[in-house]
């Protein structure tokens, strides 16, 4: 091991200037492109290699060795578990949406010609402003499969992901990065300006994508005439689950931001709604098998990206924001946003569009893209994404330039930079009281369960703590 380390340290300066973690990550992405049928294995090998190299020759963000790895795992646990819960849960949500027969009826309400495809992309854009962009992309992908009778072009799939990311860029509810800004004290009104760039970008990528899809496979209106009746109960289940996500996201970030890093609340809220609504309409649990592979793949990829040594950024400027957007096409935009929030000095509306929409330039650049790849494995192609989604990089640059020209560069402070400027709103008294009562009842239930287990001969950690006290 020491001999290998000595050889590595003796490498030419130009080679050593590139951190090995980036090299491993690049090889991982190349392997994913080359071995489409082994993407999960390649992603896991890349994660293992990155951990091994950092452990042996480098240092994790929280320190070297096992202690540093454990600390890093704790830091990323909520993010990764939340992502896993959402991806698995959204597979069931997509199944409920599909079985409601709403996608089958959509050709009746969408206009003829390429404007029908454009209208569907607009629906994804609007949904993403209120929901997580993963949910919007999944629903858009399911709807497109029915509207176009299983013939969805790769270019249109790129546009679905871009629509989901663009719609969430200007909303503190629509994307994890904008939610992070909100938690850090950035006003939702500041982030709202990202819709200027998102609107320009949408026109530039959605119109050619809709025309491309119309030539590939037009909307099949005649199919909708024989479509089964809409299951209103199952449709209501979908609406209830989406509203639950909206409420959990808003309440957590507006009233309880201090607890956001304590548990994967959004994912837990999604699964709670899925379990409750299963009483009315049971989803097909068999879809979880395929969703598990996509979930493991994405979590491994995001975990690997979190280990990249992006420990410092250039001075805050619009040029830096533009570069971060391009970088988010290949690296996870969540740690990039965290670094920018720590650094401060940004125009957060500009940065929100850059890191939110920039990930659309490659399929693995955003959670929405990787989630959609679970429905359409053909999107896992570097060359195909760039060839048929060429309009996304053009839309990114044009939207960024339009926003900068119309709104300028106006940095605003975060809560850390100006602590008194962004107080946390208090929740309604009745809600706060209800949550506290629920917590007390839950703790009492756990204590009773521990006592019963103790009486049965098994001594629980709860009863041990009580005895120590």
Spatial separation of the C-alpha atoms in residues 420 and 25, rounded to whole Å: 41
Surface-to-core class of residue 301, CB atoms within 10 Å of its CB (0-12 exposed, 13-18 middle, 19+ buried): buried
Spatial separation of the C-alpha atoms in residues 205 and 391, rounded to whole Å: 5
Q: What's the confidence (pLDDT) of residue 462?
A: 36
DSSP for 111-155, please give it.
PSTHHHHHHHHHHHHHHHHHS-HHHHHHHHHHHHHHHTTT---HH
Q: What's the confidence (pLDDT) of residue 401?
A: 95
DSSP for 323-341, please give it.
HHHHHTTTS-HHHHHHHHH
Question: Which sign does the torsion angle of CA 365, 370, 373, 375 carry?
Answer: negative
Mention every residue, 6+ apart, whose C-beta is less than 8 A from residue 189. none
Prediction pTM value: 0.67
Q: Which of 165, 96, 132 lies closest to 245, judged by CA?
A: 132
Which regions of the chain are under pLDDT 50?
1-15, 420-422, 458-469
Q: What's the confidence (pLDDT) of residue 195?
A: 94
Q: Angle at the Cα of 366 (from 189 to 70), degrees rounded to 5?
A: 100
Q: Angle at the Cα of 401 (from 396 to 404), degrees rounded to 5?
A: 125
Q: What's the confidence (pLDDT) of residue 13?
A: 46
Q: What's the confidence (pLDDT) of residue 156?
A: 95
Surface-to-core class of residue 407, CB atoms within 10 Å of its CB (0-12 exposed, 13-18 middle, 19+ buried): middle
Q: What is the DSSP letter of 60?
A: B
Mention every residue, 6+ apart, whose C-beta is less than 8 A from residue 465. none
Q: Which of 24, 7, 107 lies closest to 304, judged by CA?
A: 24
Model confidence pLDDT, tens digit, residues 380-404: 787 888 889 999 999 999 999 999 9
Tell me if residue 409 falls in helix, strand or coil: coil
Q: What is the DSSP letter of 366?
A: S
**N- to C-terminal Cα separation, the chain:** 48
Model confidence pLDDT, tens digit, residues 10-49: 444 444 556 787 788 778 877 876 776 787 888 889 889 9
Q: What is the DSSP letter of 64?
A: S
Q: What's the confidence (pLDDT) of residue 460?
A: 40
Q: Which of 95, 91, 90, 119 lies closest to 106, judged by CA?
A: 119
Under a CB-based contact definition with an 8 Å cutoff, are residues 162 and 175 in contact?
no
Q: What's the confidence (pLDDT) of residue 390?
A: 92
Q: What's the confidence (pLDDT) of residue 318?
A: 92
Q: What's the confidence (pLDDT) of residue 2?
A: 45
């Amino acid at each position: 091991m020491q001999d290998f380390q000595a050889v590595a340290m003796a490498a030419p300066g130009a080679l050593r200037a590139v951190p090995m973690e980036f090299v491993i990550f690049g090889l991982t992405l190349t392997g994913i492109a080359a071995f489409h049928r082994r993407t999960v294995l390649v992603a896991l090998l890349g994660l293992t290699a990155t951990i091994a190299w950092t452990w042996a020759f480098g240092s994790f963000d929280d320190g070297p060795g096992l202690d540093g790895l454990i600390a890093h795992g704790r830091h990323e646990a909520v993010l990764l578990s939340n992502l896993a819960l959402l991806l698995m849960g959204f597979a069931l949500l997509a199944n409920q949406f599909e079985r409601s027969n709403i996608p089958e009826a959509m050709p009746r309400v969408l206009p003829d010609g390429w404007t029908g495809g454009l209208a569907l992309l607009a629906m994804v854009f609007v949904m993403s402003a209120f929901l997580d962009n993963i949910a919007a992309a999944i629903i858009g992908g399911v709807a497109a499969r029915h509207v176009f009778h299983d013939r969805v072009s790769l270019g249109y799939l790129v546009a679905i992901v871009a629509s989901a990311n663009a719609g969430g860029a200007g909303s503190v509810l629509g994307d994890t990065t904008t939610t992070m800004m909100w938690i850090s004290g950035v006003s939702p009104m500041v982030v709202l300006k990202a819709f200027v760039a998102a609107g320009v970008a949408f026109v530039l990528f959605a119109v050619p994508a809709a025309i491309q899809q119309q030539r590939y496979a037009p909307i099949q209106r005649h199919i909708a005439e024989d479509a089964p009746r809409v299951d209103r109960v199952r449709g209501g289940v979908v609406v209830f689950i989406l509203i639950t996500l909206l409420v959990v996201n808003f309440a957590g970030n507006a009233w309880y931001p201090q607890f956001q890093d304590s548990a994967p609340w959004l994912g837990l809220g999604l699964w709670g709604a899925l379990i409750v609504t299963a009483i009315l309409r049971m989803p097909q649990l068999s879809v979880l098998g395929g969703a598990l592979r996509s979930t493991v793949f994405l979590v491994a990829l995001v975990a690997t990206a979190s280990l990249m040594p992006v420990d410092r950024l250039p001075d805050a400027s619009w040029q830096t924001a533009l570069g971060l957007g391009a970088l988010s096409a290949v690296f996870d935009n969540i740690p990039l946003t965290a670094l920018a929030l720590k650094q401060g000095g940004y125009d957060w509306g500009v940065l929100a569009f850059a890191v939110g929409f920039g990930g659309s330039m490659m399929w693995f650049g955003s959670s929405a893209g990787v989630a959609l790849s679970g429905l359409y494995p053909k999107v896992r192609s570097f060359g195909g994404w760039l060839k048929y989604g060429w309009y996304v990089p053009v839309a990114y640059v044009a939207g960024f330039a339009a926003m900068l020209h119309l709104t300028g560069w106006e940095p605003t402070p975060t809560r850390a930079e100006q602590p008194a400027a962004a107080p946390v709103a208090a929740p309604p008294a009745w809600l706060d009281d209800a949550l506290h009562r629920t917590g007390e009842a839950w703790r009492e239930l756990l204590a009773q369960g521990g006592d019963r287990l103790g009486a049965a001969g098994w001594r629980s950690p709860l009863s041990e703590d009580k005895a120590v006290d």
